Every structure is written in C-alpha cells, then in structure tokens.
C-alpha cells in the first residue's frame, strides 16, 4: 500500500497520535518505516510536521542513514505556514498509524487481534501438523498460538519489541527479532513459511525481496501460505492460489470499532507450493 493510500485508509484512532510520537519509536523501527520506498512518508512530511519540535526532529534524524538524516534537517529549515505543517502532521500519523499502534499502544493491537480471530477452517488447512514452520510478522501471537500447538517446531519472527515481548510470554515458539526481507534461516529449512496479515506488495512490510526470502527458506515441495495479505492479486500474479473462507461470527465491539473501524477477521489464504 502506498503512503497516500495508507493516509486515506487510516482508522479513526489515528487522531489519538501526535507527530512528535514518532520520536518514541525505536531507532530500528524509524529506520525501517522511513526508508525511501513508496509506502513510507516522504521526508518533506516528516520535516514539516516535526519542524516545530527540534528535540523529536533530531532523534528521528539520528535514526536514518546519515545522508537522509541530514536531508531531513535541511528540509526542516524551510519556512512553511502552520496550516501546511498541521496537514503534514496529520498525514504522518495516519500513514504510520499501524506502526504507532504496534509499538506505542500494543495493548490496543492485542485487543483487536483477540477480537478478530483467524477463520478456524483456514487454520485447519495450513499444512503445519508435525512441520518445521517459520512465521513472519508474528505480532502478539494470534497465529503463533495455533502453529505452536500442532507443528514440530515454530520460529516466530517479529520486528516490534513490544509485541515480541508479549509473543515470548505467551507462546512456545522460538521468538526472534527479524524482518521478512532478511530471514535468519538456512535455505530450505522450513516445511511451511507463513504470515498472518503481515505481508503485502510493498516494503517496508513486504514486496519482492520479502516474498523471495519466504520462498528461499522453504524446502522444495514445501508451502508458503499467506493469510489475508494486502493486495492479494499481487500474489496471484506470482503463482499463489487464492482461497476464501467463511468469516467467523464475532461479538459486536463498539469500543474497538470506534478506534479501528469495522472489525475484519482474516479469512483469505494465498498458497504456493515451492
Ligand atoms: C497486522 S500485524 C499481524 C500480527 C500477527 N501476524 C497477527 O496475525 O496477529 C502485522 C505485523 O507485521 C509486523 N511487521 C511490520 N513490518 C514487518 C516486516 N518488514 N517484516 C516482518 N514483520 C513486519 C508488525 O510489527 C506487526 O506485528
């Protein structure tokens, strides 16, 4: 999803964040989500929004490649009307909404993930029984809990420290810090590589390098199975078969919909035999 699309699609809860909250993200997260890719905010927006907050601006700049950090500081010197700064700040918190939630409000994500269970029929169709499984973007363990119950071994990877901590506490999986674009596993190690709502066609979440890594770590004849990725048609164009499952019945949760919008339990599966 491009930055402009993420800005438009942001749930109402984005109003809860301020541009200065960016400086509360860990340096490795800032480095990842502010990389120069189409789904990341342009440095112009970061500079405009953080210009009036020099402390936060410097800590964000310090997390970037030196040349990009310097460019951010230079851009922040441009005179701008307050209305433009305000609009850039609103785009920024909307475009980075999910990262801000995972890292700064992890309990909210945990509550949402619990209220949006993955379709049980879909879980049954994952070839995880007795398998060596790698799960990327494992979050707080919504899918990991199922995998750990049936697989021979599960390696669960998650870049966000706050979610990783919860994952360690609640699952039997081997939990590591890593992004999908660079998996710390030998080629052909896994029978199944999987992700629950944690892949897409664009970095920093997904993209060609991330998909190539998932396919690299699966043995010949093994499976890559992606649950409700963004832009499913991008995966279909790359040989993945789409399966759709009934959406589980879930209780109405006005507290969650007020913040996140309509609840959407994951119910699609994109599968490929490698
Ligand atoms: C929508 S959450 C899904 C979490 C979990 N799989 C679930 O179904 O509950 C997306 C997750 O992907 C993680 N993530 C973001 N960028 C990533 C990347 N490049 N590589 C791996 N995980 C990433 C986020 O930190 C977050 O935990």
pLDDT at res. 37? 94
Are both 268 and 151 inside the same structural domain? yes
**How many domains does one find in the chain?**
2
Shared domain check, 261 and 142: yes
Q: What is the dihedral of CA 90, 96, 97, 103, to 10 degrees?
A: -130
- How buried is residue 141: exposed, middle or buried, by Cβ count under 10 Å (0-12/13-18/19+)? buried
Q: Which one of 104, 139, 165 terminates a domain?
A: 104
d(CA 18, CA 53): 11
Same domain? For 121 and 85 the reply is no
Beta bridge partners of 227: 196, 269
Q: What is the pLDDT of residue 182?
A: 97
The residue length of the chain stands at: 274
* Helix axis angle, 43-50 to 82-95, nearest 10°: 120
Here the CATH number for the domain that contains residue 29 is 1.10.220
Contact partners, residue 262, CB within 8 Å, separation at least 6 = none
Pick the atom of ligand 1 nearest to 142's CA.
9
Q: What is the pLDDT of residue 170?
A: 87
The residue whose CA is least distant from atom 12 of ligand 1 is 137
Cα atoms in the 13 Å half-sphere on the side-chain side of 158: 27
pLDDT tens-place string over residues 63-114? 999 999 999 999 999 999 999 999 999 999 999 999 999 999 999 999 999 9
118 and 32 within one domain: no
Query: Are 146 and 184 members of one domain?
Result: yes
State if residue 96 touches ligand 1 by the CB under 6 angstroms criterion: no
Q: How far is CA 23 from CA 44, 79, 99, 103, 150, in A?
A: 16, 22, 12, 12, 40
| 198 Cα to the center of ligand 1, angstroms | 4
Please tell me the pTM assigned to this model: 0.96
Residues 56 and 118 in one domain: no
Extract the residue ranges of the chain whose pLDDT is less than 70. Answer: none
pLDDT at 136: 98
Contact status, residue 156 vs residue 171, Cβ threshold 8 Å:
yes
Residues 144 and 173 in one domain: yes
pLDDT at 72: 98
- Of 170, 207, 220, 154, give the one whose Cα is nearest residue 35: 207
- 16 alpha carbon – ligand 1 mean position (Å): 21
Any ligand 1 atom below 6 A from CB of 265? no
Task: Tell whether 97 and 144 lie within a shared domain.
Answer: no
CA of 28 to the centre of ligand 1 (A): 15
Give the residue numbers spanning the domain of 75: 3-104
- Asked if residue 231 and residue 99 are part of one domain, the reply reads no
What's residue 171's pLDDT? 87
- Distance from the alpha carbon of residue 82 to the mean position of ligand 1, in angstroms: 34
My answer on whether 120 and 248 are in the same domain is yes
- In the chain, count H helices and then E strands: 14, 7
257 with 182, same domain?
A: yes
Q: Is the CB of 25 under 6 A from ligand 1?
A: no
């Amino acid at each position: 999803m491009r930055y402009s699309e993420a800005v438009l699609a942001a749930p109402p809860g984005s109003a809860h964040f301020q541009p200065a909250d960016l400086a509360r993200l860990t340096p490795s997260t800032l480095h990842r989500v502010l990389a120069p890719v189409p789904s990341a905010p342009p440095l112009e927006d970061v500079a405009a929004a953080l210009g009036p907050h020099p402390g936060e601006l410097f800590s964000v700049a310090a997390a970037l490649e030196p040349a990009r950090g310097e460019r951010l500081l230079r851009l922040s010197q441009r005179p701008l009307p307050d209305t433009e700064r305000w609009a850039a700040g609103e785009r920024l918190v909307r475009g980075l909404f999910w990262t801000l939630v995972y890292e700064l409000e992890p309990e909210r994500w945990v509550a949402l993930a619990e209220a949006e269970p993955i379709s049980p029929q879909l879980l049954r169709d994952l070839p995880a029984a007795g398998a060596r499984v790698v799960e990327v973007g494992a979050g707080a363990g919504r899918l990991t809990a199922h995998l750990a119950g049936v697989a021979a071994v599960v390696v669960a990877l998650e870049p966000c420290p706050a979610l990783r901590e919860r994952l360690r506490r609640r699952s039997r999986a081997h939990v590591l810090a890593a992004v999908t674009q660079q998996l710390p596993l030998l080629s052909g190690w896994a029978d199944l590589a999987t992700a629950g709502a944690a892949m897409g066609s664009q970095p920093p979440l997904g993209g060609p390098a991330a998909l190539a890594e998932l396919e690299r770590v699966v043995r010949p004849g093994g499976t890559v199975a992606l649950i409700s990725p963004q832009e499913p048609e991008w995966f279909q164009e790359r040989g993945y078969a789409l399966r759709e499952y009934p959406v589980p019945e879930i209780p109405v949760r006005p507290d969650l919909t007020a913040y996140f919008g309509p609840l959407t339990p994951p119910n699609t599966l994109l599968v490929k035999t490698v």
